[in-house]
């Protein structure tokens, strides 16, 4: 009998039996069903959106309040047609959908316009009220501009613009850009001096051909007759002009012999003769 205890033979391991698993067939309908529902929902949403857009287009083309009346305030420098063209307004447009703010911004682009007010009145009217700038002088800053009563340089002169205004010199566009505050204050002082000259009787604005400004000294007037320099300085204009107005007529007969007149004192007038 063999002695298996002392034998070198080793027993092979037997692999366990494999059990064949029966797979269930894949149910594609289970996965496709949600996709079909999503596609149907998207189609329904697209249909509803199309209907709503069509309704919007139909409503948007309906003019609910047709513009019939446009009232424009009287103006000196701009015509009614020019203003309506700037505003882009005409009869027949829908009053409800007009953008009044944008219309006003377009009108303000014209240099003659200082303020604009636009109101709508249902069912069929619009009013446009314009305040125009009024020039008080011509200012030479390289180009020739109009100057209004508030000290605003507002319009380059073109052919046909009126020239019968005093000429202001001594200012520049460079100074207006580099020192806007200081230049604006000097322009406002110019307008104050012009206003005082307009209000006087003996010495009036018509006697002045030029107002020259110097940043260090102030203002010098030049008379229309003989271009006589009249130094005014930079302050106390009413008292200086009033004192000068009292002796102006008497000095004019001596004009050929006078070099300049200096008003820049508190209580006297210096007349420098040749």
CATH number reported for the structural domain that contains residue 141 in this entry: 3.40.50.11690
Task: State the pLDDT confidence band at 4, using cuts at 50, 70 and 90.
Answer: very low
Instruction: Say yes or no to pLDDT of 206 above 90.
Output: no
Same domain (yes/no): 148, 252: yes
Q: Phi first, then psi: what are they for 71, rounded to 5°?
A: -95, 125
Domain, as residue range, for 101: 69-132
How many angstroms separate the most distant Cα atoms in the chain? 169
CATH code, 88? 3.10.20.310
- C-alpha 69/C-alpha 67 separation (Å) is 6
Same domain (yes/no): 141, 173: yes
pLDDT tens digits, 157-192: 999 899 999 999 999 999 999 999 999 999 999 999
Asked whether residue 59 is assigned to any structural domain, the reply reads no
Domain endpoint, select from 107, 132, 157: 132
3-class SS at 272?
A: strand
* C-beta of residue 67 within 8 angstroms of C-beta of residue 125: yes
Same domain (yes/no): 149, 212: yes
Q: Phi first, then psi: what are they for 44, rounded to 5°?
A: -65, -40
Same domain (yes/no): 144, 264: yes
Same domain (yes/no): 196, 208: yes
Task: State the pLDDT confidence band at 64, using cuts at 50, 70 and 90.
Answer: confident
DSSP string, 50-96: HHHHHHHHHHHTS-SSB--EEEE---SSS-HHHHHHHHT--TTSBGG
Q: What is the pLDDT of residue 1?
A: 46
pLDDT tens digits, 252-274: 788 888 999 999 988 889 999 88
Domain endpoint, select from 104, 132, 160: 132
Asked whether residue 267 is assigned to any structural domain, the reply reads yes
Q: What is the pLDDT of residue 3?
A: 54
pTM over 0.85: no
Helix axes 237-252, 180-199, angle to 10 degrees: 50
3-class SS at 114?
A: strand
Give the CA angle between residues 252, 258, 263 to the nearest 5°.
Answer: 80
- C-alpha 74/C-alpha 89 separation (Å) is 17
Name the domain count of the chain: 2
Same domain (yes/no): 166, 267: yes
Asked whether residue 178 is assigned to any structural domain, the reply reads yes
Asked whether residue 200 is assigned to any structural domain, the reply reads yes
Q: If you average pLDDT over every residue of the chain, what do you get? A: 85
- C-alpha 267/C-alpha 242 separation (Å) is 12
Same domain (yes/no): 191, 96: no
Instruction: Say yes or no to pLDDT of 202 above 80.
Output: no
- C-alpha 157/C-alpha 151 separation (Å) is 16
Task: State the pLDDT confidence band at 212, using cuts at 50, 70 and 90.
Answer: very high
3-class SS at 16?
A: coil
Same domain (yes/no): 105, 172: no
Instruction: Determine the length of the chain.
Output: 274
Q: What is the pLDDT of residue 19?
A: 52
- C-alpha 180/C-alpha 262 separation (Å) is 29
Please tell me the number of Cα atoms within 13 Å of 218 on its side-chain side. Answer: 16
Domain endpoint, select from 132, 154, 176: 132
Q: H or E stretch including 260?
A: strand 258-262
3-state SS of 192-238?
HHHHHHHHCCCCCHHHEEEEEEECCCEEEEEECCCCCEEEEECCCHH
pLDDT tens digits, 81-111: 999 999 999 999 999 999 999 999 999 999 9
Same domain (yes/no): 81, 171: no
């Amino acid at each position: 009998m063999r002695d298996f205890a002392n034998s070198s033979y080793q027993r092979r391991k037997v692999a366990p039996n494999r059990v064949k698993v029966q797979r269930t067939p894949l149910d594609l309908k289970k996965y496709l069903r949600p996709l079909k529902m999503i596609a149907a929902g998207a189609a329904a949403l697209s249909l509803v959106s199309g209907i709503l857009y069509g309704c919007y287009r139909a409503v948007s083309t309906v003019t609910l309040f047709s513009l019939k009346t446009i009232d424009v305030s009287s103006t000196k420098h701009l015509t009614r047609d020019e203003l309506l063209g700037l505003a882009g307004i005409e009869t027949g447009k829908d009053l409800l959908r007009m953008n009044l703010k944008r219309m006003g911004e377009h009108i303000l682009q014209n240099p003659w316009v200082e303020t604009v007010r636009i109101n709508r009145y249902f069912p069929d009217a619009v009013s446009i009220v314009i305040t125009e700038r009024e020039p008080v002088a011509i200012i030479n800053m390289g180009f020739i501009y109009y100057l209004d009563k508030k000290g605003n340089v507002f319009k380059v002169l073109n052919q046909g613009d009126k020239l019968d205004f005093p000429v202001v010199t001594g200012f520049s566009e460079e100074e207006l850009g580099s020192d806007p505050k200081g230049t604006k204050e000097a322009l406002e002082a110019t307008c104050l001096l012009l206003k005082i000259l307009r209000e006087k009787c003996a010495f009036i604005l018509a006697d002045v051909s030029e107002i020259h400004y110097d940043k260090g000294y102030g203002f010098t007037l030049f008379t229309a007759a003989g271009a006589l320099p009249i130094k005014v300085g930079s302050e106390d204009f009413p008292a200086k002009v009033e004192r000068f107005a009292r002796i102006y007529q008497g000095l004019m007969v001596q004009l050929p012999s006078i070099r300049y007149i200096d008003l820049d004192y508190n209580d006297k007038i210096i007349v420098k003769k040749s």
